[in-house]
Structure 1
């Protein structure tokens, strides 16, 4: 193929060098590890590999790009936004345990925002990430505003997101986004909305959101090992109205979503072709041969 693929493992992170995506994971069961192999195959098929500069290939790990420093909040900076504004390429903003009332805007390249952990660092507000790249957000509880990503490859991992009046996480026009190990619940609309975006949605808990759990719209990500239950409408909704949607669904659990007219997995529009295996779900509709995804109790092709 003429491409070189190198897999590097740093603590808690797998980097696929010379490919446009990387996937974060911590401890996994054997089932999940096998699914990771599926991801590699899927990513090669969906996105292909290409030669990149060493700098650009190390996506989502700002610390490996040039001189770095850690900006502490509180401490050197009174607010999180002040620290974000002062950060240079490759820096981390480290936010101590506490409650912060801010609405954050991030437009940095190769930048990390890191809290002390779920329930420890609590942001009462929202995060907007625009026209950025190589950005990571981890270890926060985000309450009341959600997280919106546009035109930015990002890694969103290990966060709790709830109480947004709209989607918990909304990713649009992103060529390489990784959402993993997040707890996303009780938002005013969707738990996760992936619109015209590519990447990985892996090992998230998406529960009790007002409308759909995970919406994949005009996108073809890998959707892996998620728990999608108790959402007000459909569990995993695949939509292809404007562009093609062909996500890979692997070992997800989608059950007890919506009412009698709702489904755990459903396809809308004429441009959908999901594939996958090993999923656990009860009701499926309009997604080609639903039985190939797992063993539903009921299905309507």
Structure 2
């Protein structure tokens, strides 16, 4: 918990924010400035906007689903503590027109053939939606920054079929599945997606089933996040598809006290006390993280856990090094599977199962 408090103080300083926001890249080219006042429709402003425009949303509570199909569009709230997006009383026309956007707070909708580029969503809260708070599909260089995603039925902030995403400096709390979720695709089978250097950085994740889930993706960095009070801190998930999930960096995160109990579902057995779980992935580096106080009795409980995927694919050629692991149970490093080429070196830890890796 001390690590979490230090992280929060750091990102609260101007220097800390500058470092986090720099990861989000340069601002899009200047366009028209549009303002939405309390009581007006954000969707109406989106529909009227062109590429490069910025929509500034004044303080207030807005009850609508939003759908963005315009490239290089910025939607910027007056602050996450001032602008709140909640579900409407009835489905919006946008939700009725596109099932992919139903029950989603902000739906950023492109395709893999025609990616939607450069969309930015900043400084607002998205809460209470049945599926996602914010969902991007078929996007390129989509940025979500300074957002709160609380109490959504499945995911706080998610992307699929998307590349070069930047999910930076957000807070995701009490979402039914993951606070942050990146995947090749949700509803189809296939090999891992090359995200072309996507970044998940500086986010605070608490009260979710899992803080961060990476499912069947490659070439991605998860850095300087704080995951605490979830059932699991981070899941890095692969399977038998080719290319395999992996070539990922999980570094400098604080993953502490993830001891909530989440009952079994259609995909997973019950989850409790899981820190960083690797399952069926390759060539992933887990380094310089603080992983502490993650305890439970599930098959995935422990600090850093190697878990054979549910279709029998082992972890191979992964590196776990220079982490500080303490008071995780049943072990700081647990569940070594039959994969080859895995390396565990330079960690500060006390207990491993099997023994000999601390």
Q: TM-score range by the shorter chain?
A: 0.7 to 0.9
Matches within 5 A, 1:177-216: 177-196=165-184, 197=195, 198-209=197-208, 211-216=209-214
Alignment match, 1:112: 74
| Equivalent of residue 64 in structure 2, options 99, 102, 111 | 102
Structure 1: 5+ residue stretches without partners: 1-24, 40-57
Alignment match, 2:156: 168
1:134 and 2:118 equivalent?
yes
1:143 and 2:127 equivalent?
yes
1:237 and 2:235 equivalent?
yes
1:217 and 2:215 equivalent?
yes
Checking the alignment, whether the CA contact within 8 Å between 1:60 and 1:136 is kept in structure 2 is no
Secondary structure, counterpart of 2:43 in structure 1: helix
TM-score (norm 2): 0.64
Alignment match, 1:294: 323
Secondary structure, counterpart of 2:72 in structure 1: strand
Extract structure 1 runs of 4+ deviating beyond 6 A: 287-290
Matches within 5 A, 1:17-166: 27-28=15-16, 61-62=27-28, 64=29, 68-74=31-37, 78-125=40-87, 126-131=105-110, 132-145=116-129, 146-153=133-140, 154-166=142-154
| Equivalent of residue 280 in structure 1, options 290, 312, 315 | 290
Give the drift of 1:291.
4.4
Structure 2: 5+ residue stretches without partners: 1-12, 88-104, 111-115, 185-194, 262-270, 293-302, 307-314, 327-331, 337-358
Give the drift of 1:276.
3.8
Secondary structure, counterpart of 2:222 in structure 1: strand
Q: Relative to structure 1, is the Cα distance of residues 293 and 79 closer, same or farther in structure 2, using a 3 angstrom cutoff?
A: farther
CA distance in 2, matches of 1:101, 1:261: 34
CA distance in 1, matches of 2:149, 2:159: 14
CA distance in 1, matches of 2:277, 2:319: 9
CA distance in 2, matches of 1:261, 1:122: 31
Q: Relative to structure 1, is the Cα distance of residues 136 and 261 closer, same or farther in structure 2, using a 3 angstrom cutoff?
A: closer
Give the drift of 1:221.
1.2
> Deviation string for 1:130-157 (max 9, x for gaps)?
1121000001011112111111120100
Question: How many residue pairs get matched?
Answer: 248
Q: Relative to structure 1, is the Cα distance of residues 289 and 148 closer, same or farther in structure 2, using a 3 angstrom cutoff?
A: closer
Give the drift of 1:261.
5.3
Checking the alignment, whether the CA contact within 8 Å between 1:238 and 1:272 is kept in structure 2 is no
> Deviation string for 1:259-290 (max 9, x for gaps)?
58542001112x33321421100311116666
Give the drift of 1:118.
1.1
